[in-house]
Chain A
Amino acid sequence: MNAFAPGLPTPQVTSQEKALGRATYAGDLKIAGMLHAKLLRSPHAHARILNVDVSRAIALPGVRAVFTGDDVPQRAWGVKHKQQHVLAREVVRFVGEEIAAVVAIDEDTAEEALDLIRVEYEPLPALIDPSQALEPNAVKVHPGGNLADEIGIVRGDVDSAFAEADIVHEETYTTHSQYPGYMEPMATLATTDGSGKLTVWTATQSVFLARQRLAEALDRPVSTVRVVQPTVGGGFGGKIIEERSSVIAGFLAAATDRPVRLCLSRIDDMLSGAFSVPMKIRLKMGMTRDGRITAKDVSIRADCGAYAGLAPEVMLVTAMRSDNMQRLEHTRSHAQLVYTHTMPRGAFRGFGGTQMAFALNSHLTAMADLAGIDPIELHRQNAIRTGDLSIHGWKIGSCGLPECLNQIEGAIGWTEKRSRPKQRGVLRRGIGMAAAMHVSGNRTMGNWDGSTIVLKVNEDGRVVVLTSEADVGQGSNTMLSQICAHELGVPLSHVSVQTPDTDFTPYCLGSIASRVTINAGKAMIKAAREARETILAAAAEKLGCDAIDLTIEDGVVQSTSNANHFAKLPDICRYHIFRHGGEGIHIKATHDPDTVMMDGDHYGNIAPAYSFAAQAVEVEVDTETGQVRLIESWLSDDCGKAINPLAVHGQSNGAAVQAIGWTLCEELQFEEGRLMNGNLADYTMPTADSVPEMHSSIVESMDPNGPLGAKGASETAILPGAPAIANAVFDAIGVRITDLPITPEKILAAIAAQKEKRDA
């Protein structure tokens, strides 16, 4: 068997160039005559731009051009809400909004020129606090008001269900914004070439969505823009379609008719936003005494900042996705998305799932305690199962949630640790758990969720794969290569996946919604099998035997019935091309899953499969300093089938640590809408010595719709971390923190309040 067959741990196919330092990221690219850009940002949360004087900046030697909002297309761009321009026109709506751009011969000159731009603002009152957004006298962020989106979903008879519940629990949770923290700040190189085409190399999770947005923002035909994906240094949702710097870079190249590179500094990258959506979630649930969840009522207020972007879609996920994890009959959800004069927030790994996972899992542990039931048992009892149709119409083709729960329960020594006596000293340990689900794919845009693979078998029998699904580090190129090599019978090293390029690779939606493994993986199987049939037919012809008797193994076509009938793959591939009427082997296959778009009531089976995960952690709380230290973390992910276990474990571990950061140490600090800690020294992401060993395990539920049984991995894994930690903190000190992050200050305040209550 192939050493890297699907199911076996496989080093990334891109690992060698990365380890050698030779992988090329957007900021590494150079073109002769390339200019450099820097951006001027608004210091005001809300102001009218009265005048921008660029004369001194333009006069600086080395400066080639300076642009302001007056120079950019009038057409507004956006996801559904068209409300942004390449550079702010007339009004700025958040601190950090781009109002001018300098193009110069080098970065230092461009930077120097920024200081020479004089902007006259008329500061306006700003709306910073989302809780005031819908008050009658609130300052308006947009002329239409501050309500960006509203969702209402009712299923069943919620009020009666609450009336019948034995236990009803209600609580409000707040979650804060997280910075994706990809190690590569946004970078783009854009150029024109005299042909009318604008080519843009940019750090993106989706070249086609990037192209769509560039065409819209620059107000030019889609086909006059070409987007190419270099190696990308992580995305986590922040590099889909909400970041603005690639749009600005594209504009600058088109406007100057020169190659322009725009590499954001870390500070710039953080000031640009692309943070997750902060939310306030009120959750009320009803349960029978024996632990059956009977009713759920959710209300959400989410803050998208100044522009809506993908936040409406994110909020929809928060409002309803986790309902599908359990066998519910009565739910109600009401969610409002409001604008504020703060940086735009939107897509982030988990896409709205982390916010609700925190509320729901905190809630379920609290309710389990009220009922005197073990929380794992409560999850198990209510878990949706394989074959179920969920309350929102999701067809659960595979569900490994019970197995995930079993795994974490055993691994952490749950029963034993739960039964140990409560500690009374300064350092107190506690355990907690949480569970979550996520989609693998999501039928939304254009009522399509397909993926196309073009596969070329060269005359030497080696394979080139064309796809526009983006490997941003998660390893999708490796997954595709493994499937291709396996199906075709060639060594992994004979498969190479080309870089996404809108002019050359087929239309795909890219790395969003955990859709690549399930959809592109399926397309890959189809393409490889068709290529195999083509090769075998040619071989049968050449060898004078029946194709049915032939197999391909390790690059050799071999007859199963006659050992003398064999040929090397290159001979067959050459034969296929170089004969009368012959041609290269060039296969195209598409897979569009059998899913439906949600209807107007948000009902419908949107994804071909759904992934599940559960996590258990042990923490130690220092009751004198309020510090929470993670002792152990066990995460179990049901990804259907791990095509590459090395990648799945890597994704799970990375997600778990990203969740730890969100829960314990990453906190964006704002003053009047101004980001006060926009650098990596003050915005503290976890380091290797601040986290313990991460344990990851895999449940293979073999989804009937997945390629070889596989579903998406990686996004599900970020969901349970925060509530597992919050539950463990409660277990340790009897204090429940309902607003993230869990800081030492909050712990100490809660302990003090608890003591006061006891003493009273």
Chain B
Amino acid sequence: MANVLINAPKTAKRGEVIEIKALILHPMETGFRPGTNGSIIARNIIERFTATWNGDEIFRIDLSPAIAANPFVSFFAVATDSGTVGLRWSGDEGFQVEESIAITVE
């Protein structure tokens, strides 16, 4: 089960620049570490994070094995219309998580 913490304002003024922060539970296993039996632990990372505002993509990053476990992402957006901000993480081993938050723009 996915475990996510999101920090974003519930309301914003039109045109305001708001910050959206999201933290997700994930091991971000690099694929370079040997396990206790000496063989390499398979890579298991989040490869991509995308954010949409009412369906339009507003932000995207590609993550690398050098990023620590439980990655924290913070980005800014201009509040235009009320609606839904969708957050999506995807990666190795079929990892796929989607969360959404509602923001009211006044």
Same assembly? no
Residues of chain A whose beta carbon lies under 8 Å from any beta carbon of chain B: none
